[in-house]
A and B are shown apart, each in its own frame.
Chain A
C-alpha cells in the first residue's frame, strides 16, 4: 500500500515577540504516516495542538525542524522546506484541506466557491459547476442558497459549502479539521458516507473528529497528539 504522507521528527514552537519574545514549544518529535485508503484520526484533549498539526502538514504553519514528505505526482517533496510556489502546486493537485471555518470571498456565489478547486485545475467551467451543484445537493444545502455568497449563511451551511469544496477534487491526501462539528445527524451521515468513498478510492485521510460516533465510524487508527506535546505531563 503506498504511503502518500509521511511526517518525520517534526518540531514546532511559537515565538511571541509581543510578549517579550517568550518561546512556546508546541510539539516535538512528531512522527507518523498515512497510507492510501486509510483514515488516521488525531486524538488528544482540546488545546493539545491537533489543528496546529494539520496546519503544519498543509504548509500553513511553518515547522522548526523535521520533514513533511508528500507524494506529489510520483515525486517525493518535503513541504517543510518547499518554496511557496511548490506548496501551492501541491495544494492544487495533491493535498486538500477542509478547514473548520469557511473564509468567504466577497461576492462569490456558494456554487462557485465549491467549483473553484476544479476550475483551478483546468476543468471546464460548466462541468465544474455541475459537479459542484451535485455536491451541494448531496449535502442538502437548499438550492436557493447556491447562487448567494456564503458570508451570511449559518455555521452549518457554511461548513457544508466548505466540505463540498474540499471533497470535490480527487486529491490523494485530504486533511479534515472537524468537518462535522456544526452538522445535524442527517448531514453527519452524508459526510461519513463521503469519507468512506474517499477511502475506497485510495485517498489518504488525516482528520480531527470530536464527535465520537463519527470518529468510530471512519477512523482506522488514532494518533495521540499528546505524545508529541510538551504539555503531555499536564494532560
Chain B
C-alpha cells in the first residue's frame, strides 16, 4: 500500500469569475507524508486546500483518493453522502479558528465523541472513555471533559479541535493555519504535539501555512504558491535552504531571526 499514493491531484483550477483562485495544480500525496502549502495571503493556498477537501468545487481538474479498500475514487464522482462520510471518518479538517471546527455550546467530551458516533460507536461508556483518553493525548486535563470549549483558552480549543479530528483514526488531515493566532509558547506546544501525533499515527497531512518555521518543523515536502500558481516545490529543507525562484528567495530572506 505504501508504494501507492493516497491522493492524486491533477490540474486543479478554481476561478472566481475571471479571477484566479488557483491554477493547474498537480501532485501526489503518499501515505505518511506531510505536505506544506506556503505563500502569503491571497496566494490561493486556502482555495486549493478547500478544493482538495471537497469544501469547494474546483472549476476543472480531478482529485482521486485511495479508499481503505485500496480502490481509487474520484471525489467529484462521489455522492454527497459518501463525501460527508469520508469527511467525518477517514479525513480530518483543522480550521485556523477552532470555533469553525468545534461545537462551542456542547461539552469537550461530546465534541470528541460526536465523531465516534458518526462511525457507529453507540456505547456511552466507551465513547466517554475514548474521548477522555484523547483529551489526555492533546494535554487537556480529563476533569475538563464536561466543560464547553467556549470556556477554554485559544490553545486548548485548538488542541480540542485536533482531538475531535483524530479520534476516528483518519488517514488524511487537512490543516488551515493550525497555529495562526496563538502565542508562541502555545504554538510550540501545539507544533510538538502535532509532530508527535503525525509521526506516531503515520498520518498524511496537507498543511496550509504562511509560517515557514511551521512548514520546516512539520512537513516533508513543500509547495510555494503565488498568484494562484505553484511556483516552486520540493523537499522542505531544499526549498528553504536553496530557494530557486525569486519569490521564494524573498519569502525565505524575510524571516525574522531570533
Q: Which residues of A contact B (CB under 8 A)?
A: 14-18, 21, 55, 59-62, 84-85, 87-88, 105-108, 120
Q: B238 and A60: CB pair below 8 A?
A: yes
Contact A17 B245 (CB under 8 A): yes
Across the interface, A105 reaches (CB within 8 A) one of B192, B238, B246, namely: B192
Chain B residues with CB below 8 A from A105, complex form: 192, 195, 217
With known contacts A60-B237, A62-B238, A84-B234, A107–B192 Cβ distance under 8 A: yes
Which residues of the partner chain B approach A120 to less than 8 Å between Cβ atoms?
A: 199
Contact A16 B195 (CB under 8 A): no
B78 interface residue per 8 A CB criterion: no
Closest CB-CB distance, A55 to chain B, in whole Å? 7
B25 within 8 A of A: no
Task: Indicate if the CB atoms of A107 and B188 lie closer than 8 Å.
Answer: yes
Given A84-B220, A84-B235, A85-B33, the answer on whether A18 and B242 have CB atoms closer than 8 Å is no
Q: Chain B interface (Cβ within 8 Å of chain A)? A: 30, 33, 188-189, 191-192, 195, 199, 217, 220-221, 234-238, 241-242, 244-246, 249-250, 253
Q: Decide if B241 touches A55 in the complex (CB within 8 Å).
A: yes
**B235:A106 contact, CB within 8 angstroms:** no
Question: In the complex, are the beta carbons of B220 and A88 less than 8 A apart?
Answer: yes
Q: Give chain A nearest CB distance to B101 CB in angstroms.
A: 24
Q: Which residues of chain B are near A59, meaning CB under 8 Å?
A: 235, 238
CB pair B192–A108 under 8 Å, yes or no, is yes
Q: Are B192 and A106 in contact (CB under 8 A)?
A: yes
Contacts of B246 in A (CB 8 A): 17-18, 21
A155 to B191, CA, bound (A): 25
Q: Give A14 to B30 CA distance when docked, in angstroms.
A: 31
Enumerate 9 A-B pairs (CB-CB under 8 Å) in ascending A order.
A18-B250, A21-B246, A60-B238, A60-B241, A62-B238, A88-B235, A106-B188, A106-B189, A106-B192
Contact B192 A61 (CB under 8 A): no
Nearest-Cβ distance from residue A154 to partner chain B, whole angstroms: 18
Known: A60-B241, A60-B242, A107-B189. A17 touches B249 (CB 8 A): yes
A108 and B192 alpha carbons, distance in the complex (Å): 8
Closest residue to A17 on the B side, CB-wise? B246
What separation, in Å, do the CA atoms of A14 and B253 have in the docked complex?
14
A147 vs B103: C-alpha distance when bound (angstroms): 38
- Residues on A with beta carbons closer than 8 Å to the beta carbon of B238: 59-62, 84
Measured between alpha carbons, how far is A14 from B245 in the docked complex, in Å? 11
| A148 CB to nearest chain B CB (Å) | 14
| A residues less than 8 Å from B235 (CB atoms) | 59, 84, 87-88
Q: Given contacts A84-B221, A105-B195, could you give 16 more A-B pairs where the C-beta distance is less than 8 Å?
A: A14-B242, A15-B244, A18-B249, A18-B253, A59-B238, A60-B241, A62-B238, A62-B244, A84-B238, A85-B220, A87-B235, A88-B220, A105-B217, A106-B191, A107-B188, A120-B199
The distance in angstroms between the C-alpha atoms of A21 and B30, with both chains bound, is: 35
Complex CA gap A21/B244 in Å reads 11
Question: Which B-chain residue is minimally distant from A116 (CB atoms)?
Answer: B199
- Residue numbers in B under 8 Å from A85 (CB-CB): 30, 33, 220-221
For residue A103, which residue of chain B has the nearest CB?
B216
B242 touches A16 (CB 8 A): no
Q: How far is the CA of A21 from the CA of B247 in the complex (A)?
A: 12
Q: Which residue of A lies closest to B196 (CB)?
A: A108
Nearest CB in chain B to that of A86: its residue:
B235
Closest residue of chain A to B233 (Cβ to Cβ) is A84
A-B pairs, top 10 by smallest CB distance, nearest first, are A17-B246, A106-B188, A84-B235, A107-B192, A61-B242, A84-B221, A17-B249, A60-B237, A62-B242, A60-B241
